[in-house]
Structure formats: C-alpha cells, structure tokens
Amino acid sequence: MASRNRLIESLFCALFGLCGVSLLVLAIPDVGLRFAARLVPSELWNDRSQTLSCLLLIYALLFFAASLYLLQRTSKSPPLWSVLRREFIEKSRQLLSFLRRLPETFPRLLPVPLLLLMGLGAFVRFKFLNQPMRYDESYTYLEYINRAPQYLFLYSDPNNHVGHTLLVKLSTLIFGSSPIGLRLPAFLAGLCSIPVGFHVAKRMLSQNAGYLFAALIALFPYFILFDTNGRGYSLVVLLSLIQILLSLRSDQELPSPLLFAFVTACGLFVMPSYLFFAAGIVLWLIVVRIVINGPSLDLLKRFLVRYSVACLLMAFVLYSPVILVSDGISPIVANRFVESLSWGEFASRLPSHLAETVQKMSRGIPTVGLALFVLCFLIGTIASIRKRDWQAALFFPTVVLGGLVVLILKRAIPFDRTWIFLLPIFLLQVANGFVECLTMLRKSPERTIQLVQVVSFMLVLGMSFFLIRNDVITKFEDTGSYPEAEDLAKLLVEWDHSGESIGMSDPLLSVPVNYYLAQLGVESISVAEKTDAPMIYFLSREESPEEFDVGAYLLEQEFGQTSVYRQHRDR
C-alpha cells in the first residue's frame, strides 16, 4: 500500500510539473493569445494579453512549487496522497454520520421557536422585496448582469460585488430579472443569518441569548434594508457569522485554517472590504487564545501561516477571472473610491464618518430602544468580564480594533455600510445583557427560557408591524432611492418621444429608469445636457439646476420628488 501511495504521489509530482511547463509556454504572449482566442473567441484577449501572460506565469510557478514540494518529501515522510485520502474518508464519514442523524438533530438545529422567528423575519423581508429598485442594484444589473458573461467579472468600480453578482445572474436565469429575482440571493442570505446567528450566540453565550440574538437579526431595520437590496452586504453578514461559528470550538482549539481561509476568500470575493472583518476576527482569535490558553505562540504561528497562505491562494484563484477581465489588480485595490488620503484629511473626516455610520445603522429604531440596546450592551460586557468569559468580553473591541488597523493603513474612508459586520457583534452582546437582566428577574431556568422565547417573538412581531405599517425600509435613501423611477419609465413608453432628448437635474435617476425600461423591453435612454432638439426634462426638487428655464417648458406630471417638464414644440 505504501509503495502504491508513493507511486501516486510521484505521478502527481510529474503531473504538476507538466502543468507548470505547459502554462509557462502559454505565458509567452503570442502563444497564449492564440490559444485563448481559439478556446474562447473574444476581442477581450487583444487588450488583455499582458495580464493573461502574467496570470499564466503565476499559475505556472504555483504548479512548479507544488511539484517541488512533493519531490522534496523524503521516504520517511508519510505519503501525502495517503494523508489526503485518509482525511477525505474521515470527513466523508463525518458528513454521512451527520446526514443519518439529521432527523434526530433537526429539532436542535432548528427548534420550533427559531422557526417562528425565521418565519416572521421572512415575512417582513418579503413585504419589502418588491420595493422600487435603487440606483446601485439597477447599475449592477445594467452594467454587469444584463450583458455578455465576461462582464460579470468586470471590476470597473466597487459596485460589482462579484461573488454576489454571480449568484444574482443565476437567480435571474431561473426566476427572471424582476426586482424579486435580483434580490433573491440577498433575501436568502439574510434569512439564513437568523439560524446561524442563533447557533453563534448559543455556542458563545447560552440558548436564551441565541433566541434573542436571532430575534434581533430578524427585526433590525438595517439588516432588512440590505436583505431586500440586490447588493452583497447580506452575504457579508452571513459569511461573517459562519466564520464566527467556525471559530467557536468547544475544545478551545483554533479552527481549521483551510476552512477558515475558504470562508474568508469567499467574503473577499463578494467584496474586498471583507478584509476589515477578517483582520478583526483573526486579532480576536489571537488575543483570546493567548488570554485563555497562555502564549502558545508556536500554535498561533502555524495557524496564521497556514491560514494566510491558503487565504491568499484561494482569493487569487477566485479573483483570477476578475483580474483578467479588469486588466490587472489596480481596479480592485486602487480605484478612485479607495485612494489613500493625506493624514490630515483622513483624520478630519474619520470622526464624521464613524458618527454617520452609527446614525445610519440605528435608523428605524425608536430612541428608547436605542438607549435600551446601549444599556444591555454595557450590562452584557460587564457580566462577561465578571464571569471571565473573555471570548464574549473581548469580541467587539478586538474586531473593531482590527478593522480600524486596516482602515488606518489604507487611509481611505469607506462607505458606512462597509461596517455592517460590526452590527451582529454589537447585538450579540446586547442579547447577552438582556438575558442577564431576565435571569436576575427569573431564577428558574425553565421560566427564563420561556420568557425569552415570548419576548423574542413579541419583539419581532411588534417591529414587523411597525416597519410594514410605516413603510420604513422603502423610505431609507441608502444606495440611491428613486421610488418614482418605474412611473417615469412607463411615462416614457406611453409618450412618443422620438426626436426628443432627455434631460435630468439628477443624472443618477436615469439608471433605475433604464432598469424599468429594460423590463418593458424598451431601449435605454441617455441623458443630454444641452441640445437643440426638443427636450423632456425630469426636474428633482432637491437637484434643481439654476440654468433650467421653466418658461420654455410645460409641466406635464409630478411623481414624488420629480416633476416632468416637456419643452414647447414651437421653441
């Protein structure tokens, strides 16, 4: 058996070397260009030949490195093929065992109270799933999804959350390009965050905290906003919760570096700013393991090296088509939205950015509720310190610190929603504090858990009623809110505007209007600044240009904040 495994390992060594040689030959610009054009005919290759050569060269070096690694293994080393085979068999057995026990464990994975919370969370999200399309998600559809397949990987600006965009493309192929079809991946990610959050809190704190934390995820307006928006932020929340769950091992050991790296790479593939969370959770792991287990530096070093290498390799593989289509790595890491600021400008803008982030994330929650959240957060933190539960006590500050370190190193002010991963971590301690208060009121554990379940259910039910009745989520202006866009598109279809140009005081309005025109099967419009042709002008009350001559136009209709003017035919 050993000789057979050695033979298989030798064959893989030769195969990796052959792949490296082949890719090295293809890295020659003319050779690789001809091969790529023959394999997938496209004009793209002519403009990307240098990038293609660089990628092929890097992959060739990676295959050579793998071949050399197998070659240098001595006869005393256990055969790598045997190790991988044994590991695969063990994991397969664990998976089969889990599937066999699934009917028995299902009530523990998804207990009835949690299913009720998920049902209410799904209901309130579904009510907002068909809200008017916003600017960012409309732009993503028009620029990346509703075009040739290669545009799915085009990172012309941070609007393309590539990992999420691929899921949206799949959703539109199955369910169509309606707002619901575009938002279904975000909706499902948000819904899955509820049970994952339950198990995070249950493992870190208690079952009572799990129910309350799941309720907070289900009802929080900021989560609902991005669970009903065709962007990748709900996927970031889900992946961050999964990564937290992976790190909460009962044996206090570090998580599997490969699995941990895979989740991180997936998060980075959704959006590069996932690095903020990745830095924070790695810092938390290091600090907690040193505090709990002592300075086991060798173990931490091995974990960090394996995790970092695996994460870099996986992220590189995932981003390879993005690098190729976008013609390099600069559009990803050095676009205009992430350009480094001077230290003075960065320091002056940072406080207002943090204050605006807190203000936007807390919208839709009554002032009394926010005060209660802060109080429960403090109670939960103090309780964790008194119990010497350093996992919970240090969680929020270390993740914040890790994110701030990345922010300071980059010196670029991100969008406020970039910090959405901090919200579940804050609410986790809020749930802890609330449960501590209930525990002091109810000494009986049975009565306490019943009270927590009732309170969780009533919180979600009451908040759902409040959000739906007041149409709170639709009124949020995040990512560009233009509720009148669909009516304006229908108006343009109804009118015969051939020979007339379109003007807009707010040019961004054209993007959601064009989305709805595409749904109606009508050609997109382009915005003209000045023209001799008769014009239809969309005038926003908040973006009224001084040069607009109202006397030359007739007011035709008004939709929300937008007035539609049509130029006199004799002008």
**Structure confidence by residue, pLDDT tens digits, 10-55:** 777 888 888 888 888 888 877 877 787 777 777 777 778 888 888 8
Per-residue pLDDT averaged across 526-541, rounded? 70
Question: Could you say which of 451, 475, 499 is where a domain stops?
Answer: 475
Same domain assignment for residues 200 and 294:
yes
- Mean pLDDT to the nearest integer, 126-147: 94
Backbone angles phi, psi at 558, to 5 degrees: -130, 135
Q: Is the pLDDT of residue 227 over 90?
A: yes
Is the per-residue pLDDT at 200 higher than 80? yes
Range ranked top by mean pLDDT from 301-310, 326-335, 530-539: 301-310
Same structural domain for residues 434 and 405?
yes
Q: 382 in a domain, yes or no? A: yes
Residue 484, both tokens: 């009148």
Overall number of domains in the chain: 3
What pLDDT is attached to residue 195?
96
The confidence band for 82, taking pLDDT boundaries of 50, 70 and 90, is low
Task: Give me the amino acid identity at 53.
Answer: S
Question: In the structure, what pLDDT confidence band is assigned to residue 136 with cuts at 50, 70 and 90?
Answer: very high
Does the structure show a pLDDT above 70 at 99? no
Distance from first CA to last CA of the chain, Å, rounded?
Answer: 91
Query: pLDDT digit string (tens) for 462-501?
Result: 888 899 999 999 999 888 888 888 988 888 888 766 667 8
Please check whether residues 300 and 330 belong to one and the same domain.
yes
Contact between 243 and 260 (Cβ < 8 Å): yes
- Residue 229 backbone class (left: φ over 0; alpha: ψ -120 to 50; beta: rest): beta
Averaged pLDDT for residues 414-425: 95
Kindly report which listed range (165-179, 416-430, 465-479, 535-549) carries the lowest average pLDDT score: 535-549
Q: What is the mean pLDDT of residues 374-403?
A: 94
Residues 6+ apart with CB under 8 A from 505: 537, 538, 539, 540, 543, 544, 545, 548
| Same domain, yes or no: 538 and 448 | no
Query: Does 412 share its domain with 549?
Result: no
Q: Which residues have a Cβ under 8 Å from the Cβ of 466 and sit 6 or more positions away?
A: 472
The whole-number pLDDT of residue 357 equals 94
The yes-or-no verdict on residue 253 having pLDDT over 80 is no
The most confident of 147-161, 212-226, 549-563, by mean pLDDT: 212-226
Measured distance CA(444)–CA(434) in Å, rounded: 16
Do the domain assignments include residue 88?
yes
The answer to whether residue 13 is domain-embedded is yes
Query: 3-state DSSP call for residue 563?
Result: strand
- Determine the Cα–Cα distance for residues 375 and 295; give it in Å rounded to an integer: 34
> CA nearest 204: which of 384, 360, 25?
384
Mean pLDDT score, 529-550: 66
Average pLDDT, the chain: 85
Band of residue 535 on the pLDDT scale cut at 50, 70, 90: confident
Residue 306 and residue 182 in one domain: yes
pLDDT surpasses 80 at 529:
no
Query: Does 400 fall in a domain?
Result: yes
* Contact criterion met (CB below 8 Å) for 234 and 189: yes
Task: Give the domain-ending residue among 475, 501, 521.
Answer: 475
Structure tokens at 334: 């050095």
More confident residue, 411 or 551: 411
Within-domain flag for 55: yes
Q: What is the CA radius of gyration of the chain?
A: 27
Q: What is the mean pLDDT of residues 182-202?
A: 96
CB burial class (10 A; 0-12, 13-18, 19+) of residue 204? buried
- Flag whether pLDDT at 403 surpasses 90: yes
Work out the pLDDT band at 571, boundaries 50, 70, 90. Answer: very low
Q: Write down the pLDDT at residue 165.
A: 96
The strand order across the sheet containing 501-504 reads 501-504, 535-540, 562-567, 553-559
pLDDT for position 42: 72
Q: Are 469 and 508 part of one and the same domain?
A: no
The number of residues in the chain equals 571
Q: Are residues 325 and 232 in the same domain?
A: yes
- Regarding whether 135 and 39 lie in a shared domain, the answer is no
- Which H or E run contains 556? strand 553-559
Residues 436 and 558 placed together within one structural domain of the fold: no
Assess whether 452 and 494 both reside in one domain. no
Residue 328 Ramachandran class (φ > 0 left, ψ -120 to 50 alpha, else beta): left
- Domain containing 22 equals 2-92
- Give the percent of the chain with pLDDT over 90: 45
Query: From the centroid of its chain, how far is CA 413?
Result: 18
Domain contains 98? no
Residue 432 confidence (pLDDT) = 94
pLDDT band of 318, cuts 50, 70, 90: very high
* Whether 427 contacts 211, CB under 8 Å: no
Q: State the Cα–Cα distance between residues 239 and 198, nearest whole angstrom.
A: 14
Do the domain assignments include residue 103?
no
- What's the rounded Cα separation, in Å, for the pair 199 and 241? 9
Which of 439, 455, 475 corresponds to the end of one domain?
A: 475
Residue 458: Cβ-neighbour burial (10 angstroms; 0-12, 13-18, 19+) = exposed
Token representation of residue 425: 């971590």
Give 450's pLDDT tier (boundaries 50, 70, 90): confident
Decide if 100 is inside a domain: no
Q: What is the pLDDT of residues 258-267, one digit of tens each?
A: 899 999 999 9
* Cβ-Cβ contacts under 8 Å for 260 (sequence gap 6 or more): 243, 246, 247, 307
Residues 151, 273, single domain; the answer is yes
CA distances to 131, 159, 177, 341, 487 from 491, rounded to whole Å, are 19, 28, 21, 44, 6
Q: What whole-number distance in Å separates Cα of residue 316 and Cα of residue 59?
A: 10
pLDDT at 8 over 80: no
Distance CA 269, CA 426 (A): 25
Of 307, 416, 292, 309, nearest to 358 by C-alpha is 416
